[in-house]
Structure 1
Amino acid sequence: MNDFSENLKTHLSFIARSCELYDQGHKEEALRVAVSLRVMFHDTAHSISLLKHLQRKESIHLISTFASQKSMSAEYGNVHWHTVIPVMLTSRGVQAPTNSWPTRSVLVIDDWWQEQIWLEGAIALSRKDIILSAANQDGGAHVDANPNEKTRKVKRGPDATVRINGKLFEGGMSNHHLPLIRQMAYEVLECKGLYELAKST
């Protein structure tokens, strides 16, 4: 019989180790994180996520530190936001903010997975979109010779002009999905319920 709690513990350990390496400068570790997040949370007609196997997708809650249409409307009134881009540029380059961003909401897993955190005109990307692009097409578990538009977008980065201290920042917005995934990992690793579930027998 499969020990799904032990599998969950393994993937939480994978994520934590990859985050340590990411923070040391190995940004490609975000692709490994994406694979573990896919295993933990993504369900299809042919595969079942660890959390669904454990029958806890409806009871485990995850923090969301990203701005979204819903959280921005709650914070600033019922306004439709055309653009919400999670830019992570600092004077030291691209950095995942981890705990320096406040918790905007606490969501059940499916809502967290489907929350659209990148709105740019007609483009709306959820955590699911970004994770599956990284895991399925950008080298996490598979490399696609013809990646779809979502994958091309997350690799290309926001179509925005950014200045830091008045200086135009060029070339730093590509592969913007990697710090986004690092931030998602922070949100997951902050969930005590997942660790308690991983310890259960």
Structure 2
Amino acid sequence: MEVPQSSTELIKHLKEQMQFIVASSSSYDNGFEGEAKRLATSIRILVHDTNRSKSLLEILGVKKSIQYHSYLEKEDHSKTIAFVGLSMRFTDEGLRYYPKVGQPEYKLTFQDWWNQPVIYNKKNNINFSRKNIILAVSNKDGGAHVDPNLSERYAKLSRMNGFGWEVFKGEEEQGVVNGPELPIVRQTAYELYTTLASEFNNTL
């Protein structure tokens, strides 16, 4: 016999996941990029449904009615040569990806937000949505599980400068310091947190 959780208990779970996002985001921003792996797990708990399990927002009955904050407007990138939905800056070490953590400008439906391409390179066959990145990090790359094998395209993106940047300081070639996958997770967490803080302001 199973005992259903009350609405009060479910809202408590929501508060906890939002608190996890705040704590892990602070750790990430203070220099521990690996904390994005725990962010990916919280995001998955909140929004990802499977045949066997429901997301917390689906259980609460609000997932499809919410408008999700986004730094990117809804647009077609199919004719774009390359696109990166992150900030990038040159450092003494080389090129580094950074999340955008200012106020998101746009609002999208869940499906448009979750499946929106956030990094794209037609030449190198790179096309990742928020969903692709979050599930790869949480399910296979140390969030909730470590898989001994990664998909080739994710491995290239996260470990092999799959985007193909060539970075020089004078005549000296420099590398790309980090992959874009963890900054994308951090950015996605910020977008989701601002969405939920706005949606549940009177409840939380």
SS at structure 2 position matched to 1:128? helix
Check conservation: 2:86, 2:100, Cα contact below 8 A. Answer: no
Partners in 1 of 2:188 and 2:99 — Cα distance?
9
Q: 1:198 to 1:27 in 2, by over 3 A?
A: farther
Higher relative contact order (CA 8 A, sep 6+): 1
SS at structure 1 position matched to 2:201? helix
Partners in 2 of 1:198 and 1:7 — Cα distance?
13
Is structure 2 residue 155 aligned with structure 1 residue 152? Answer: yes
| Unpaired segments ≥5 residues, structure 2 | none
Correspondence for 1:44 among 28, 44, 50:
50
Q: 1:123 to 1:90 in 2, by over 3 A?
A: closer
1:76 is aligned to none
Is structure 2 residue 16 aligned with structure 1 residue 10? Answer: yes
Q: Which amino acid is 2:17 matched to?
A: H
Partners in 2 of 1:197 and 1:26 — Cα distance?
32
SS at structure 2 position matched to 1:14? helix
Q: Deviations over 1:164-185 (max 9, x none)?
A: 776754131x432111111111
Q: 1:87 to 1:186 in 2, by over 3 A?
A: closer
Correspondence for 1:183 among 183, 187, 193:
187
The correspondence of residues 108-127 of structure 1 with structure 2, limited to 5 A, is 108-121=109-122, 122-127=125-130
2:87 is aligned to 88
Check conservation: 1:91, 1:164, Cα contact below 8 A. Answer: no
Percent identity at matched positions?
31
Partners in 2 of 1:197 and 1:158 — Cα distance?
44
Q: 1:37 to 1:7 in 2, by over 3 A?
A: same
If the length of structure 2 is used for normalisation, what is the TM-score? 0.81
If the length of structure 1 is used for normalisation, what is the TM-score? 0.82
Check conservation: 2:165, 2:176, Cα contact below 8 A. Answer: no
2:175 is aligned to 170
SS at structure 2 position matched to 1:28? helix
- Report which of the two structures shows the higher radius of gyration computed on alpha carbons: 2
Q: 1:86 to 1:169 in 2, by over 3 A?
A: farther
Q: Which amino acid is 2:201 matched to?
A: E
Q: 1:29 to 1:148 in 2, by over 3 A?
A: same
Name the stretch that deviates more: 163-172 or 91-100. 163-172
Q: 1:116 to 1:197 in 2, by over 3 A?
A: farther
Q: In the TM superposition, what is the alpha-carbon distance from 1:119 to its structure 2 partner?
A: 1.5
Q: Which amino acid is 2:98 matched to?
A: Q
1:196 is aligned to 201
Partners in 2 of 1:184 and 1:158 — Cα distance?
21
Q: Deviations over 1:143-181 (max 9, x none)?
A: 000112343134134423254776754131x43211111
Q: Which amino acid is 1:89 matched to?
A: M
Q: Deviations over 1:88-127 (max 9, x none)?
A: 3213443223117x62x31122221111111212332110
Partners in 2 of 1:197 and 1:164 — Cα distance?
51
The structure in which a higher percent of residues are helix is 1
